[in-house]
Structure 1
Amino acid sequence: MKRFSRRAVLAVLAVPLVPACTSEPDGPPPPDPLAALAEQARKDAAAATALAQSNTDLATAAGTVAKARTAHATALQAEVDRARPPKVTTSAPPTTSSAPPAPATKATMIEALKAAEKQTGELVATVPRYRAGLLGSVAASCASLREVVA
């Protein structure tokens, strides 16, 4: 009869426990919903700026929209970066050669503001209170901006 050492017995008993002690690495977190809102605000600001440059009748209103939507984008991006600090890289960020935005019309600017107001309003109930305040401010601002443009 062969005798087993205590080490051998413990090693055999420990093998089934190894997978139970290790966990699967968590996947990447889902995208921050505020990041998409910040990107849309940047696009809205660029379209409003193009409209202000191409339409003298709407230059003041479009300039106001561009300034406000730029402020929205900055505030939303700051919150995204606070919650998930961007990774520092040593290489230069890739450049995109996207075409400049087509100038908006009065109707498309109003629709964009209405869509932004709706999106931010829908997110208010799904985020923590400190983010809900930011989103509520953006939604209220978009509603006010629609009145400025109209």
Structure 2
Amino acid sequence: MLSRRSTLRLAGYGAVGVVAVTALSACAPDDGADGPAKIDPLIAQADRARTDAAAATAAVATIPDRAPALGLIASERTEHAKALDTEIARAIGVYSDGSPPSAAATASSSTTETVSPPTLEQLRTRIADSQRGSAALATTESDYRAGLLGSISAACGVHVEVLLR
């Protein structure tokens, strides 16, 4: 049989243990189970690059004399989307079972939507918006991601100011 003093001592240790476990669990990293998963901001940029590429390709129908420049823009914006998808996959890492993420899991849409042929001015405006968007996002990211977005912004600037003039 336990003495009164031993019983109180055990109860005190139990209370301290509960407080310690509660405090330590509050310091544990968030596994995202209690809230929505953070969406990678590069996904929207990759989608935008794919749509820009489709718009440039569609514009060849209405502006055939600019076909070489439009083809280059479509090619580069497609490469931008691929580079962004690669960075998204790298950031995801590997799943708990050790398998790498598939391309379907990283790209929000692997097929491009049908785009009506834009005018030259509409395409310039669209790519200028992409330039501003990637430049703004570059200021919120760090390291490689900031450099990637800055490079994409610079390329879009060349598209607008040189290729589409």
TM-score bracket for this pair, using the shorter chain length: 0.7 to 0.9
Deviations 1:23-73 (A, max 9, x none): 376235532222211110011111111222454233222212111110111
1:96 and 1:138 map into 2 onto residues whose CA distance is: 19
Given that 2:92 and 2:101 are in contact with CA atoms closer than 8 Å, whether structure 1 keeps it comes out as: no
Q: TM-score, normalised by structure 1?
A: 0.77
1:96 and 1:142, CA in 2 relative to 1: closer, same or farther beyond 3 A? Answer: closer
Q: Is the contact made by 2:46 and 2:82 (CA closer than 8 Å) also made in structure 1?
A: yes
Q: Which AA in structure 2 matches 1:132?
A: A
Alignment map for 1:56-135 (pairs within 5 Å): 56-85=64-93, 100-135=114-149
* C-alpha separation in 2, matches of 1:140 and 1:97: 25
Contact 2:51 2:112 in 1 (8 A): no
Relative to structure 2, which stretch is displaced further, 28-37 or 45-54?
28-37
Q: Which runs of 5+ in 2 are unaligned?
A: none
Query: After alignment, is 39-48 or 97-106 more displaced?
Result: 97-106
10, 34, 38: which one aligns with 2:13: 10
Moved over 4 A (4+): 6-9, 86-90, 92-99
Identity across the alignment (%): 36
Letter in 1 for 2:163: V
Would you say 1:41 and 2:55 are equivalent positions? no
* Structure 1 stretches lacking a partner, 5+ long: none
Question: What's the Cα RMSD here?
Answer: 3.2
Deviation at 1:81, TM superposition (A): 1.4
Q: Deviations over 1:92-137 (max 9, x none)?
A: 8899998512222211110111111111222333222322222222
- Retained in 1: the 8 A contact 2:135–2:153? yes
Taking structure 1 as reference, are residues 45 and 10 closer, same or farther at Cα in structure 2, changes over 3 Å only? same
TM-score by length of 2: 0.71
Q: Quick one: distance in 2 between partners of 1:62 and 1:33?
A: 27
The amino acid across from 1:111 in the alignment is T
